[in-house]
Amino acid sequence: MVRVKYLSHLILFLLLFSFLFNFTGKTYAAEDTMKQVQMEMPVLKGDMWIKMTNDEKVAFIWGAGHVITIEKVLMANDPEYKNKNGFVAKVVEASNNKQMNVQEIIKVVDVYYGTNSDQLEKPVFEVLWYETIVPRLAVKK
């Protein structure tokens, strides 16, 4: 448990260090750091989602799933880390209420953007939240 906690802190430190110093020694103000993060990892929105192949969509969902799994493990091993109202806790609760496989999740997002072509600037995670997570929070097995 302690090893996992320190490892997660080390990873966060290294990520922050790489963004702040960009391995050049130059420091950035907070707003510059956010611009740097957006350049290196822009928010995935519908305009890009509709152009992605199924394999790319699967990779995106799997990646999100892995992050959620890591957070779930950290929450289980460290009581101080738990946030019952946080994103990961709600995803876990929704999954416990009703499972969805990757292709089902992709179909929901595809249908959303297909029927709401005026919403292509909406982030994919926002669509995932309101179309796949929130509805399953109300459902009990």
Q: Is there a single domain that holds both residue 130 and residue 96?
A: yes
**Separation in Å, CA 36 to CA 31, 33, 39, 139:** 9, 5, 5, 40
Q: Is there a single domain that holds both residue 70 and residue 136?
A: yes
Q: Measure the CA angle with vertex 52, ends 50 and 55; round to 5°.
A: 135
Number of domains in the chain: 2
Q: Is there a single domain that holds both residue 65 and residue 49?
A: yes
Q: Is there a single domain that holds both residue 25 and residue 56?
A: no
Q: Is there a single domain that holds both residue 21 and residue 63?
A: no
H or E stretch covering 39: helix 30-40
Q: Is there a single domain that holds both residue 86 and residue 74?
A: yes
Q: Is there a single domain that holds both residue 37 and residue 71?
A: no
Q: Is the pTM of this model over 0.85?
A: no
Q: Which domain holds residue 95?
A: 43-141
Q: Is there a single domain that holds both residue 71 and residue 81?
A: yes
Q: What is the pLDDT along the chain (141 residues), one digit of tens a residue?
A: 444 445 555 454 444 444 444 444 454 466 676 666 667 778 899 999 999 999 999 999 999 998 888 888 887 887 777 777 778 888 888 888 899 999 999 999 999 999 999 999 999 999 999 999 999 997 665
